[in-house]
Amino acid sequence: MEDMASIFAGCRTIAVVGMSNNPARASHDVARYLMDFYQVIPVNPNFESLLGLTCYPDLQSIPVPVDMVDMFQRSENIPPFVQPAIDIGARVFWMQLGISNAAAAATLRAAGLTVVQNKCTLVEHRQLANLCN
């Protein structure tokens, strides 16, 4: 839990890649939860805004520094996001529950990023918050 605590403590801005406009989708629910604690930036080329927030087509289009890239993409679709995450200076690359990619993780770690795989940001953050109460 200490690693999770430091990850969340070091974040101010989270780019949610693959965010959906469907409230039944995990990406929508997780982003809505995270908005209470962080600046959330939706990334999805199919929308101009989500949850009242400006939505960007890709990581490179985000005009502010991003601390965490929170991925809602299939495991096999992760590689194209690796170099852009490195290029924008993200410190954490998070692959949501059910998502992992060993080659991408190795490249990201070699570039100095913290990598989390197969975990939900909402669940992990909520668990930490409950420990503090």
Confidence of residue 1 (pLDDT cuts 50, 70, 90): very low
Strands 49-50 and 53-54 turn out to be: antiparallel
pLDDT (0 to 100) of residue 94: 98
- The model scores a pTM over 0.75: yes
Here the tokens at position 60 are: 């490179």
Long-range pairs for 95-102: beta carbons < 8 A, 24 or more residues apart: 95/71, 95/119, 96/26, 96/27, 96/30, 96/70, 96/71, 96/72, 96/120, 96/121, 97/26, 97/123, 99/71, 99/72, 99/73, 99/74, 99/75, 100/75, 101/75, 101/76
Domains of the chain as residue ranges with CATH? 2-132 (3.40.50.720)
Residue 33 CA to residue 122 CA, distance in Å, equals 7
Residue 62 in this model has a pLDDT that exceeds 50: yes
What is the tens place of the pLDDT at every residue in 76-109? 999 999 999 999 999 999 999 999 999 999 999 9
